[in-house]
Amino acid sequence: MVNYLLPLLTAVARHTKENFVQKTRHTEAVQEQFLLTLLRRHEDTQLGRDYGLKDIKTIDQFCDRVPILPYSSYEPYTERIFQGERNILTSDSVVFINLTSGSTGPQKLIPVTQRFQNSLRQANLTSIGFLADALQARERKFGKLLITNSAQLLGQTPGGINYGHASVGVLRMGKFLYKQLFTHPFETLLVGDSLARHYICLLFALRDRSMRGMIANFPMLLLRTA
């Protein structure tokens, strides 16, 4: 079944990429429409009321009224979301919370909605479309991919929201898409021991003739696997 779905996925990715390219030809109008839609969607949230998003009608008004702030300014909002409060930063329900690595300070909470996850999936499909076209230009085919990231959750908030590293949320919420892309079963990413997980994923990759590449969040992860 997967062998039939991968070409279909590639075709969808190419179509998504073409839509993206069309939008780049009038970026200012596209960005303005996106901003205004975003403001209308979130104007009745706690953040929207605090900054008067309902009254913002232009890009200039947005720049004047919504300052660029550090994470500490948003922390009170994210803590309320962590405890289970709704309609704080987003009108949509928070379905996952990304926990940052903490490499630049204390770990931060990044709320994720299904709408955001869908937009991220569109971005990923666009990237796959560009990749598929680039490979075709070199007379090569897009194929299955190896990834060794962990998909294990770190826990659940008092409000009942799963949380973990950003890649965990992406993998779990986009499971159907990634099942078509990976050369190994999704369940291999649930193995807790890092060495064992890498070994199992590599074993599946070695037996799959349709494997064409490796993906990871950071280049160093690819180097570690290699």
pLDDT at 177: 82
pLDDT given for residue 45 in this prediction: 98
According to the model, what pLDDT value does residue 106 have? Answer: 87
pLDDT at 50 over 50: yes
Query: Mean of the pLDDT values across residues 10-32?
Result: 97
pLDDT grade for 3, boundaries at 50, 70 and 90: low
CA 176/CA 170 separation, integer angstroms: 11
pLDDT of residue 127: 95
Q: Which of 53-57, 59-63, 101-105, 133-137 has the lowest mean pLDDT?
A: 101-105
pLDDT in tens, 138-183: 999 888 999 999 999 999 999 999 999 999 999 998 888 888 889 9
Q: What is the pLDDT of residues 79-137, one digit of tens each?
A: 999 999 999 999 999 999 999 887 778 899 999 999 999 999 999 999 999 999 999 99
